[in-house]
Amino acid sequence: MAQQLEQLLTCCICLDRFRNPKLLPCQHSVCMEPCMEGLVDYVRRQVKCPECRAEHRIPYNGVQGFPSNVTLQRFLEAHIEITGETPDPHTGQYMERCNVCNEKNYLSVCSHCEKKICEDCKAAHLDILKREIGRINNQVKRASHRLNDQLSTVERNITSLKQNTTSVSDEIENISKRLQKSVRDRCSFLKAEFRNLTMLKESLDQEVSNIGANIELAEKHMDDQTPWDDAELMDAKDIFLKTMEFIRSFDYEAGDYSRRARFNPPDDLNKLTTSLSTLGDLTFSTPNKMSDGYSSGPSMGSGLMKSKSDHRLAAQFRDQEDGYGYTSGRTSPLMRRRFGERNTERHDEDSSADSGRRRFRSRFMRKEEDEERSVRFAEEDGPKRQRVFDTEDVSRGPLSGIVRLYDSPRVMKRFQERDQNKTKKKEEPPKPAQPTLPKPPATPIQRKTSRQTSNEDEIDKIKKQNKNTDSTSGATATTPTANTSTPSTPTTPKPAGERVSSIRDDERQSRSDRTSTSPRSSANHSPASSITREDDSSRRNEYSRSRAESNASGANGTTSRPTPARKTSVDTGVTSVAQRAYPFSRSSSNSSVGDKDKNTSGTRSPRTLDTAGYERRLSRSNSTDSNKSGDGSSSPKKATGAAFSTEELKNRFVRTDSKPSTSKVESSSRSSGPSNSRFQSRFLGRAGTPSVETSKESGNEDEDDETTEDSESEESEESSEEEEEEEEEKEPTSEYSRADIGPLLGKSAQARDVAGSTSSRSTWGDRSSYPSASTSGTDSGYASRYGSNSDNSNGSSNNSSRYGAPTSNSSSTDAGATSHRRPSYLDSAKPQAKEKEDEFESKYPYSSKYLNRSRAAVPEEDSKPTFQSRFLNRSKSSAVLGPDDNDESTPTTTHGTGRARFEELKERRQRLARSKSSAGLEDDEGTAADTNSAANYRPRYGRVEPEASATTRNTAAGTSSVGAAGSSSNAGGDNSGSSSTQLSNWARYLKNKYGNRSGAAAGGGDSSSRSTGTGLSGSTSTSAGSGLGSNTSSASGIMGSGSRPGTSSTVGGRAISRSRSSHLLGLAKEGESSEDDSKNVHATPTFPPAGTQVPTPFGSLHRSQYLQKQRLLIKIGSRGSEPGNFTWPRGIAVGPDNSIVVADSSNHRVQVFDQQGKFIKEFGSYGSAEGEFDCLAGVAVNRIGQYIIADRYNHRIQVFDPSGMFLRSFGSQGGGDGRFSYPWGVTTDALGFIYVCDKENHRVQVFQSDGSFVGKFGSMGNKPGQLEHPHYIAVSSTNRVIVSDSNNHRIQIFDINGKVTTTFGSEGSDEGQFKFPRGVAVDDQGYIFVADSGNNRIQIFHPDGSFLRAFGCWGSGEGEFKGLEGVAVMSNGNILVCDRENHRVQVF
Amino acid sequence: MIAIVMETQRLMAEPVPGISAVPDETNARYFHVVVAELFLPEEYPMSAPKVRFMTKIYHPNIDKLGRICLDILKDKWSPALQIRTVLLSIQALLSAPNPDDPLANDVAELWKVNESEAIRIAREWTRTYAMGN
């Protein structure tokens, strides 16, 4: 009954429930949609009833005009009610044609294909997606351990770094103490002089009085009144004579003493500082033990770690910044970073430098490339698509920005649903791809970072906050700060204005607090300090007060991003400070500088403030481990926006500090002269807001430097204190003051002491000042300029200052790095610097150059180079980050060009924000950028291997000289190029490091020039190559570039290298702007070959090359039996001389062509005698050029000598050992063993080169290790035997013992699937080429069997195939394909 | 498409007596019907399925190529008809040839003249071609 009812309610056409049933005049009902429409005969305007075939005229208004069968509808409704069926979900919708299956149906948009499709198709797509996710997830799972490895390594490195740092810093302190003492010894000498002089004076006094007395006596008594006897007179005469003589002869060399004692520093302080800086060798090159985890070895030292952390911080910072927007008010604080941005970051990360780092990255890339492609990038390309998982409140990986799916509300909801319904419906695999980087808790910094990000992300999620705080508390000493930070967090979620205001409030508050504090502190100190000090303090008070006021007013006044207010206030503050400073410094030039700076600061947006604060923190963290924790705590806060207040505080604080520091400097500088003052003023002015901070920092730094004993600890202490203060806004004032001001006082006091001996003092002052100066300069300038990127620079600068100042920097590593770095600069600036000077020298020129350019005082410069080098190192290592790169470039430019440039740069930088090394571009030569980028890598290596430095430098020079072209060529460049052209240390090093691969690359050296050309062509056009190639310097250029790709390839991150190269290309092409793009591209693992589509036919960068493969190079032959033509060519092989050997199967002959496809010779004819063939299939050429032919229908293998003369044959038809049944593919390995695909016996047989049977493997079947009609075979250089298991539609890889190592592929036409795969080939790097015969395409696989690329389709055009047979790959990467049905050989 | 799926399900659930129709694994529109093939065109059910005998059949309404002369497969098709009905119709046609509307004239001729002989030949053909011996 029920069934009948059902039937009554079912449309006879669609067999579904009636949907809007229309009643025909014959009383039959039909669905309106889509059934009725199908019944319409438009020609006759009638409808034929499907049931009774009655024909009805269509009403005037169409089929709509038929009455609806209301009764039926009621029934339907009733039925639904009774049975409780879910109502038709599509009511109210209308049907459309599905965009996939073209059926008319209710459609919805599919996120997978972005089309409106029907449910069925959608389900299919969902399946596909699920499968994809599963696959990717598997990959992720497989690869995830790497991250863990990295993590543990990082942890280990952290500990070791920590230890190292402490020990080194101890050492440094020692040294600095000793140095100090040695310098002070001069003081004591001067004192001795003074003592001498006084003694002289005393004795002279005595003499004078004696003589006077004598004179008096002589005058008075040397007359006749007094009886003198002769002896007495004689004596007296003698005495007077002697006196006379003495007076005459006594010639006090007044010059000795009247001359001002002066301390002449050797040459200038440059030298001293540089020598100092090189003195200690704060070598990060010792880091072998540190880099233990990374097999890349020494290249990644602690610097790397730092850089990494830097980078992370930077990333954080950037995130945060994104949150705030670059310019004030432009973006809402809620703005999230976009994928692209994140990518870039990653990119940068990548490009960053340390090979270790790179390695990580690249590996990551390679392994999870797919995932990225499908997941991330899929997302990326559809920005409009609503991203369901990627919501605000999810936590995401700090590095990759990968969302933690479990946190996504959607996911949670799904789970909930599932649990509730218990229905099988699983919208998504429980945890599809959860590549969320485990937040690396390893490095404190890292931890910090992660927390920061998470904070940022989860601001409004209290739950998450809790979690975070927990984690943080778990972390380290960070706990209190972290907790404190949390409260600050809630402010963030508020709308921008509100938040801003709140921040403002915070600021104000903090400021007020601070102000109160600062006076107090100053007061405390004033007794200790001299009068000037008191002055200072009072001034400080004033400042702070005014500062606070101005700020407050600004806050009140503007709701929008505080830029104006803040700026102004800052400006004023700065100005005032600067002005104050001037009188003290007494240098007129300063004022101008200061003004300029002021202007700069004026233009700067509040962002700078952030940055500065951030930097500061960062730098501090860098400086000391202990600091880190404090920093960490602070940074999150900062991220949340409370940071602002912090910064503000700091600024204020700084400001107050800056005064003291200034004064101090002044006091010291009085004698030291303009240099100091200038530094100061400059620093003040330039930095603007940041400068203030910087100044403060400088103060700190100074303290550190001078009070060597506790400097670092103090600093850290101080920093933490500060932070605490900031957070708790009060209590530590005294401490703070102690920390800050006390040392300052001490220092000043010291300075005063020193003042007695001017020279020494000045030295000191200089020294102390410049580290700070450099720091400040860089920090502020850079920060202001970039706002966002500053972190690294800060860190580095800080470090440099730290190291550089007290111990005079010193470490060979540093120096080395510096030098490396420097050369690049030098090169760009003045190529003549190329000579391999030692690092010092190189440094010097640089500095001198710098001097020329900038008006800053000498010491400052010195310090700067130091800093820079340091910084460079760091940044280099951390080049991963875009910001870092920026940093690098920035300093360069800054220094190189001087102020104006600098400003310009700054603006640029702000605009570009993320663009890498583009600053360099801006510079005089467009090359700079290239150089930079090239240099990025180089220094890394250089650091690792000092010997390589020379080469590197050369390379750099080469690069620069070559210019953009060179760089581009570099991009395209190969290891091979570099190694072959100059088998230098570098190359050797590379080779050592990377073993075969680079070695192989070297092998391909001959093609270097060509490769260069290709690189160029990639950027511009194919033809351009020659010019480049001819360029002599290109070689070196290649080298430079070579280093890069080499590394990357080593890492296994071919993708990286590829992208890098592409990136470079982009660079060359479009300049800096393109760089961004390229970077993005970079991040995209599947860099569309579009940009670099030119088939890089040569060179060893196989992966990139292969990825670009698509275009036909040569096409050999057509159907025919004359030489050069084929009839069903099957096997193909490449001879040792790159000749192409083709088994022209149905012509029963072997043809040999040269590399260009020119016919050389043929041999063989039809028959079964010696040297005759019957439908030969496989060919192989062994190392000595002998041809090995699988004579298929004769069931034998024939061997010919290189001239084509028959040597021997073996085998006959059968199933036994050494017998064949239709042998097909044949190959040979390096040892000359012959592998034969015994097709109909479903096995592979191995023979010695003389034909004696060695072994066999495989049997009929489809299990691993079994074969079904194996067709072709190839042996890699690593003795992996690759067999195309044709009828199983897979490729199997055996070891030489016949054990299966890998099996991949299945039947299908997707990537990595086959239909009757035939030819296989493997290149010297293990990449596997498969002629996917049934799909008429070539597929390329990674050595591990993962899919790399496919190309080709059915057809007879270029790059199209009909029935593929053998493939072979030439040593230059060209792929040879036997296109059977087209009777030709194609070369790609 | 829905209709096809539904029909298929129903067909599998309760097959037409004496006829097994199995959808092709790769093409839901293609059915293997004992000795025949049935293909549902794109417009189905608005147009008739295409049915063809794969083996030679001695039948006045079926030609040498296996094509069937059946009105409902041609102009008399109605969307309300289904695979089931089609198969039933063919079954009926096989059991009750219509030599008056022949497709294979010689067969029709024989059928008219000597039905028993015709039936014998038909049996023979069936044994030979359809049953494989």
| Nearest residue in chain B measured CA to CA from A104 | B1
Question: Of the spans A81-85, A785-789, A1138-1142, B23-27, which averages the highest pLDDT?
Answer: A1138-1142
| Nearest residue in chain B measured CA to CA from A11 | B80
* Percent of residues, chain A, with pLDDT higher than 90: 0
Mean pLDDT value across chain A = 58
**What pLDDT, in 10s, does the model give residues A31-82?**
887 788 778 888 888 888 888 888 888 888 888 888 888 988 888 888 888 8
Helix (H) or strand (E) holding A863: helix A858-877
The phi and psi torsions of A1291 (rounded to 5 degrees) equal -115, 130
Say whether pLDDT at A617 is over 60. Answer: no
pLDDT at A260: 63
Confidence of residue A196 (pLDDT cuts 50, 70, 90): confident
**Structure token pair of residue A767:** 């020294």
Closest to A39 in 3D by CA, of A31, A24, A29, A49: A49
Provide Rg for chain B, Cα atoms.
15
Nearest neighbour of B79 by CB, restricted to A39, A103, A118:
A39
CA A113 – CA A109 distance, rounded (Å) = 8
**Residue type at A546 in one-letter notation:** S
How would you label A130-151 residue by residue, b for 16+ Cβ within 10 Å and e otherwise? eebbeebbebbeebbebbeebb
**What pLDDT, in 10s, does the model give residues A1067-1115?**
333 333 333 333 333 333 333 333 333 333 333 445 566 666 667 777 8
Closest to A893 in 3D by CA, of A940, A825, A843: A825
Mean pLDDT of A738-752: 41
Q: What angle do CA A686, A688, A689 make, to 5 degrees?
A: 145
Helix (H) or strand (E) holding A712: helix A711-728
Contact criterion met (CB < 8 Å) for A51 and B80: yes
**Which segment of A319-323, A1114-1118, B64-68 scores lowest on mean pLDDT?**
A319-323
Peptide bond just before A1317 cis, omega within 30 deg: no
Rounded to the nearest angstrom, the minimum Cα separation between B2 and chain A is 7
Say whether pLDDT at A1302 is over 80. Answer: yes
Mean pLDDT of A980-1003: 41
pLDDT at A1102: 53
pLDDT at A264: 62
Nearest neighbour of A16 by CB, restricted to B2, B43, B46:
B2
B68 or A704: whose pLDDT is higher?
Answer: B68
**Residue type at A859 in one-letter notation:** P
Confidence of residue A1139 (pLDDT cuts 50, 70, 90): confident
Contact criterion met (CB < 8 Å) for B46 and A105: no
Active site residues of B: 69
Contact criterion met (CB < 8 Å) for B80 and A12: yes
| Pair type for strands B30-33 and B36-39 | antiparallel
Residue with tokens 């093609």: A1007
Say whether pLDDT at B13 is over 60. Answer: yes
**Which segment of A496-500, A1101-1105, A1159-1163 scores lowest on mean pLDDT?**
A496-500
Interface subset of A 12-31, CB within 8 angstroms of B? 12-16
- For residues A1286 and A1293, the answer to whether their CB atoms sit within 8 Å is no
- For residues A1289 and A1307, the answer to whether their CB atoms sit within 8 Å is yes
| Nearest residue in chain A measured CA to CA from B77 | A50
CA A18 – CA A393 distance, rounded (Å) = 45
Say whether pLDDT at A1363 is over 80. Answer: yes
The phi and psi torsions of A422 (rounded to 5 degrees) equal 60, 15
**What pLDDT, in 10s, does the model give residues A823-855?**
333 333 333 333 333 333 333 434 333 333 333
pLDDT at A368: 39
CA A627 – CA A625 distance, rounded (Å) = 5
| Nearest residue in chain A measured CA to CA from B1 | A103
pLDDT at A345: 37
Q: What residues of A are in contact with residue B40 (Cβ under 8 Å)?
A: none
| Nearest residue in chain B measured CA to CA from A30 | B80
pLDDT at A259: 60
Which stretches of chain B sit within 8 Å of chain A by CB? 1-3, 6-7, 43, 45-46, 76, 78-82
Mean pLDDT of A245-262: 67
Say whether pLDDT at A347 is over 50. Answer: no
CA A928 – CA A942 distance, rounded (Å) = 19
The 3-state secondary structure of A946-959 reads HHHHHHHHHHHHHH
B127 burial via Cβ count (<10 Å: 0-12, 13-18, 19+): exposed
A150 or A864: whose pLDDT is higher?
Answer: A150
Say whether pLDDT at A175 is over 50. Answer: yes
pLDDT at A703: 40
**Which segment of A227-236, A388-397, A405-414, A1072-1081 scores lowest on mean pLDDT?**
A1072-1081
Contact criterion met (CB < 8 Å) for A105 and B2: yes
Closest to A871 in 3D by CA, of A789, A773, A792, A777: A792
Q: What residues of B are in contact with residue A16 (Cβ under 8 Å)?
A: 2-3, 6
The phi and psi torsions of A1282 (rounded to 5 degrees) equal -105, 125
Contact criterion met (CB < 8 Å) for A35 and B76: no
Give the torsion sign (CA, A108, A110, A115, A117): negative
Contact criterion met (CB < 8 Å) for B3 and A103: no
* Report field, pTM of the whole predicted structure over 0.90: no
Helix (H) or strand (E) holding A1153: strand A1149-1153
Q: What residues of A are in contact with residue B79 (Cβ under 8 Å)?
A: 12-13, 35, 38-39, 50
Q: Give the contacts of A650 (CB within 8 A, at least 6 positions apart).
A: A612, A613, A616, A693, A696, A722, A726
Instruction: For residue A1123, give Cα distances in angstroms to A159, A1114, A1117, A1180.
Output: 70, 17, 9, 20
Mean pLDDT of A326-344: 38
Q: What residues of A are in contact with residue B80 (Cβ under 8 Å)?
A: 12-13, 50-51
- For residues A806 and A708, the answer to whether their CB atoms sit within 8 Å is yes
Mean pLDDT of B82-87: 86
Contact criterion met (CB < 8 Å) for A16 and B78: no
Q: Is A42 on the interface with B (CB under 8 A)?
A: no
Confidence of residue A1379 (pLDDT cuts 50, 70, 90): confident
Interface subset of A 115-144, CB within 8 angstroms of B? 118, 120
Mean pLDDT of A1158-1187: 87
In a mutagenesis test of the B interface, which of A6, A8, A14, A15 is the best target, namely the one with the most B β-carbons within 10 Å? A15
pLDDT at A279: 59
pLDDT at A277: 64
Say whether pLDDT at A1388 is over 50. Answer: yes
**What pLDDT, in 10s, does the model give residues A1246-1277?**
888 888 888 888 888 888 888 888 889 988 88
Nearest neighbour of A38 by CB, restricted to B6, B79, B82:
B79
Confidence of residue A593 (pLDDT cuts 50, 70, 90): very low
**Which segment of A903-917, A997-1011, B31-45, B75-89 scores lowest on mean pLDDT?**
A997-1011
Confidence of residue A389 (pLDDT cuts 50, 70, 90): low
Mean pLDDT of A560-588: 38
Nearest neighbour of A15 by CB, restricted to B7, B43, B76:
B7
pLDDT at A584: 38
- For residues A677 and A585, the answer to whether their CB atoms sit within 8 Å is yes
Contact criterion met (CB < 8 Å) for B79 and A103: no
Instruction: For residue A119, give Cα distances in angstroms to A107, A137, A157, A813, A1078.
Output: 7, 26, 53, 64, 39
**Structure token pair of residue A1144:** 């022209």
Q: Is A3 on the interface with B (CB under 8 A)?
A: no
Rounded to the nearest angstrom, the minimum Cα separation between A41 and chain B is 11
Q: Is A38 on the interface with B (CB under 8 A)?
A: yes
**Structure token pair of residue A375:** 């997941």
DSSP A67: P
* Percent of residues, chain B, with pLDDT higher than 70: 97
Residue with tokens 């001729």: B109
pLDDT at A388: 60
Contact criterion met (CB < 8 Å) for A50 and B80: yes
Q: What residues of B are in contact with residue A15 (Cβ under 8 Å)?
A: 2-3, 6-7, 82
**Structure token pair of residue A1098:** 């040569």
**What pLDDT, in 10s, does the model give residues A18-27?**
888 888 899 8
How would you label A164-189 residue by residue, b for 16+ Cβ within 10 Å and e otherwise? bbeebbeebbebbeebbeebbebbee
